[in-house]
A and B are shown apart, each in its own frame.
Chain A
Amino acid sequence: MGGVLSGKVGADYSRLLGGYANTQVYNRDIVNRSDYFASMRYQVGPRWGIFGGLMGTTYSVSAAQANFNNSTSKGVDVGADYATELNRIGFDYRYNDSRASNSAVLNGVVFDPDYREERARVLFRYALSEKTIFDGSAGYLKRDYPSTAIGSFSGEIWRASFQWQPTPKTQLLVGAWQQLDADLTSQTDYFVDKGFSLTPEWIASEKVTVSFSVSHDTQNYVGSNPVGPIPVDFTGQARHDTLTGETGSVIYTPIQAIVLTFSAGHVKRNSNFSQFEYNDLQSSANITYKFYRRGDYQ
């Protein structure tokens, strides 16, 4: 509006099969998530902008034994940035208030896993050359649980990636990160995740793209708060996991309306608690057909 004010309003809904990577319930668990959001950006000048947005989220799982993960949350995000065609520096602040509809039991204590979370970050993107882009963020995340049954936590978070395109048909993406994270199906069990990844890609032709990715994560659990039907005794030491993964993909686009993707991957998780160790091999084939198109990009 007027070239300086813009915004978005939208809704997202997803329904997917929950994974078993960090759960103690082995029946089918369907995860539903609905997001409703609105955002606005005001361009102060040709390069300076301020932005903000609101979002409401409803999250639920179908497994009765895991329903302490059900929640509704409200979030607000504000920030400002200075951007050119390829470069950007800015900051953002996010506040999230999550309310759980069901109680959880931890060490014999019944509690509501409600929480308030704050995140402040500096955002940075810089084109080092025509072939290389650096993209990163760094900040602090803090989560408070009103209940004393579960420990609050806070810490530094950062993420950095280099994208290098030595030739028109080859690219390399190198990433490193430190995040505070939790599995979707185990929201009360948080860990500090430090890792790196390396992803070379080869655009073999107009129709074929080949990529390979290797990654390594270390996950140090914060207070170790698993909630579920099987008691896990963490007395004496906190849980510590490492994950290594390798994945290869081939994307084939025979015609513009059809995309075929073939991928295979392997993940190995080691842990100081043997019940959390696993080896996993996956492969998949996907076909996507764009059967109706009106407009699209020109």
Chain B
Amino acid sequence: MKIHPNRILFAVAMSASASTSMGGAIEYKDPLDLAVAAPETSAAAQQRIDRLILYAGDTFAYDNNIYRLPASVTDLTPLPGIGSNPSREDLICAPTTTDTFEIPISTMYQAATA
């Protein structure tokens, strides 16, 4: 039986996206953390080729307390910076696009598994 780390990590990341203020089991890694990460397993490294992938997407989200206010706050108008006719809940549409472009110059993986 083969463990599928990427698939479960994706599912956890999707779950965590609903609560960005919480730590979660999966560590946030900035680009430098990812760049110095351990080399890929031999199977993944051997499969890597030049690639260009373009994604487009859209997210429809409902939030019933977008300003993260306590229940005791019933009048939102005095809050600093808030717009006219403020509402505690909101429906958000967020189109996204992602481009992935990779050219491997050198393929390195753990020689012990070659």
Tell me the smallest distance from the CB of A274 to a CB of chain B, in Å. Answer: 6
Is A217 located at the chain interface by the 8 A CB criterion? yes
A130 touches B1 (CB 8 A): yes
Give the complex CA separation of A149 and B72 in angstroms: 33
Q: Which of B10, B30, B105, B108 makes the CB contact (< 8 A) with A55?
A: B30
Q: Which residues of A contact B5 (CB under 8 A)?
A: 133, 163
Chain B contact residue count (CB 8 A cutoff): 78
Is B27 located at the chain interface by the 8 A CB criterion? yes
B70 touches A277 (CB 8 A): yes
B57 touches A286 (CB 8 A): yes
A211 touches B14 (CB 8 A): yes
Q: Which residues of A contact B102 (CB under 8 A)?
A: 295
Q: Which residues of A contact B4 (CB under 8 A)?
A: 165, 171
> What are 22 inter-chain pairs, A to B, with CB distance below 8 A?
A7-B106, A26-B86, A27-B81, A47-B112, A53-B32, A55-B30, A55-B32, A57-B30, A85-B42, A130-B1, A168-B1, A175-B25, A229-B80, A243-B19, A265-B15, A267-B19, A278-B68, A278-B69, A282-B18, A288-B56, A292-B54, A295-B51
Is A6 located at the chain interface by the 8 A CB criterion? yes
Q: Which residues of A contact B12 (CB under 8 A)?
A: 173, 199, 211, 213
Q: Which of A75, A247, A295, A297 makes the CB contact (< 8 A) with B52?
A: A295
Give the complex CA separation of A279 and B70 in angstroms: 7
What string of 1s and 0s marks CB contacts (under 8 Å) between B63-83 and chain A?
Answer: 111111111100010011111
B53 touches A293 (CB 8 A): yes
Q: Given contact pairs A267-B19, A287-B57, enumerate 7 new A-B contacts (beta carbons under 8 Å).
A: A6-B39, A27-B83, A215-B23, A251-B14, A281-B63, A282-B61, A297-B51
Q: Which residues of B contact A12 (CB under 8 A)?
A: 31
A41 touches B71 (CB 8 A): no
Is A88 located at the chain interface by the 8 A CB criterion? yes
Q: Which of A20, A274, A288 makes the CB contact (< 8 A) with B72?
A: A274
Q: Which residues of A contact B70 (CB under 8 A)?
A: 274-278
Q: Which of B20, B39, B94 makes the CB contact (< 8 A) with A49?
A: B39
Give the complex CA separation of A19 and B105 in angstroms: 39
Give the complex CA separation of A179 and B72 in angstroms: 31
Give the complex CA separation of A39 and B39 in angstroms: 12
Known contacts being A177-B25, A280-B65, A297-B48, is A77 close to B36, with CB within 8 Å?
A: yes
Known contacts being A41-B36, A84-B112, is A230 close to B80, with CB within 8 Å?
A: yes
Is A249 located at the chain interface by the 8 A CB criterion? yes
Known contacts being A173-B25, A217-B22, is A292 close to B38, with CB within 8 Å?
A: no
Closest 5 CB pairs of A and B: A175-B25, A295-B51, A265-B18, A27-B81, A39-B35
Known contacts being A8-B35, A83-B38, A199-B25, is A290 close to B11, with CB within 8 Å?
A: no
A79 touches B36 (CB 8 A): yes
A247 touches B19 (CB 8 A): yes
Give the complex CA separation of A282 and B88 in angstroms: 12
Residues facing B in A68-101 (CB within 8 A) are 75, 77, 79, 81, 83-85, 88, 90, 92, 94
Give the complex CA separation of A212 and B3 in angstroms: 18
Is B85 located at the chain interface by the 8 A CB criterion? no
Q: Which residues of B contact A130 (CB under 8 A)?
A: 1, 3
Residues facing B in A1-34 (CB within 8 A) are 1-8, 10, 12, 17, 19-22, 24-27
**Identity of the chain A residue whose Cβ is nearest the Cβ of B83 in the assembled complex:** A27
Q: Which residues of A contact B55 (CB under 8 A)?
A: 288-291
